[in-house]
Amino acid sequence: MCTLRGVSWEHIFAVKIEEMHITDSWKLLEDDALQVQACRPGWKEFVQRRALGRFQCSQCFHEWSSAKVHILFHMCQCQGWGTVLMRIFRQKCRHCPNPRLEDPDFSLETLEMILHNLVIKILQYFYNKPVQPSDLLEFVVDTPVTGPHDSAHCEACQLGICNRSQWALAPDAWKPLMDEDKATMHSTESWLGWAAGNCKYWAAGSGQKGRCRLLPSATSPCRALGTWWVS
């Protein structure tokens, strides 16, 4: 499992689980064979999109940053224990003739945000906790990222995941509202709560440009799984 400054993903994940008062035992494992929208029966999926990562080529040592690092999670829970499988999608160096796929490094802040969002989805999927879009932390890019995204050297793009993130979510990404939730719906704020739970790309305010696929009349940007989709 990846480590950051001697701190493992498992350790931070365990801390987040404890902070959310989850008493079941959960473990986090890497699995480079995971595929998007290919969960086993009883498993749930969450894709953390557009995380900020930094790469270094293992051949020429060229370094670059990317704000479009994708992390795929498959998870299940049964009788007091749970398992999360994780795949971090890699990128290649554009300077080398025969580049290798390189793993990204994340800042501690980014790592904590990724695992916070993962635990929020665990609460939603397996503990029937209501989740609002504001509960999922968004990544603010404050590090210069030069040039357009290099799709030819991005593993997620080559597998169709980057493009898919604009138009499709994993099955069961949002659950329908329960009857008691519908009874509380009122005013514009409640409508936004409904949209967050049912619309693949719900309209939300931002300075960026985008358009909702399911609500063509919407002119404000759209958000899914805590990340922005920009046209």
- Give whole-number Cα distances, 148 to 77, 144, 205, in Å: 39, 12, 24
**Residue 50: band (very low, low, confident or very high) from pLDDT cuts 50, 70, 90:** confident
**Residue 165: band (very low, low, confident or very high) from pLDDT cuts 50, 70, 90:** very low
DSSP letter for each residue of 19-80: HTT--SEEEEEE-TT--TT-PPTT-EEEEEEEEEEEEE-TTT--EEEEEEEEEEEEEEEETT
Predicted structure pTM score: 0.67
Among left, alpha and beta (phi > 0; psi -120 to 50; other), residue 23 is: alpha
The residue among 200 and 97 whose pLDDT is bigger is 97
> What would the pLDDT profile of 10-35 be if each residue is shown by its tens digit?
999 999 999 999 999 999 999 999 99
Residue 173 scores a pLDDT above 90: no
Share above pLDDT 90 across residues of the chain, in percent, rounded to a whole number: 49
**Residue 164: band (very low, low, confident or very high) from pLDDT cuts 50, 70, 90:** low
Residue from 111, 110, 115 nearest 75 by CA: 115
For residue 180, what are the contacts with CB-CB under 8 A and spacing of at least 6? Answer: none
Mean pLDDT of 143-158: 74
The pLDDT assigned to 157 comes to: 87
The pLDDT assigned to 147 comes to: 59
Contact 37, 171 (CB under 8 A): yes
**Residue 116: band (very low, low, confident or very high) from pLDDT cuts 50, 70, 90:** very high
Structural tokens at position 200: 């693949």
Element (H, E) at 133: none
The pLDDT assigned to 229 comes to: 32
Sign of the alpha-carbon dihedral angle for 28, 32, 33, 35: positive
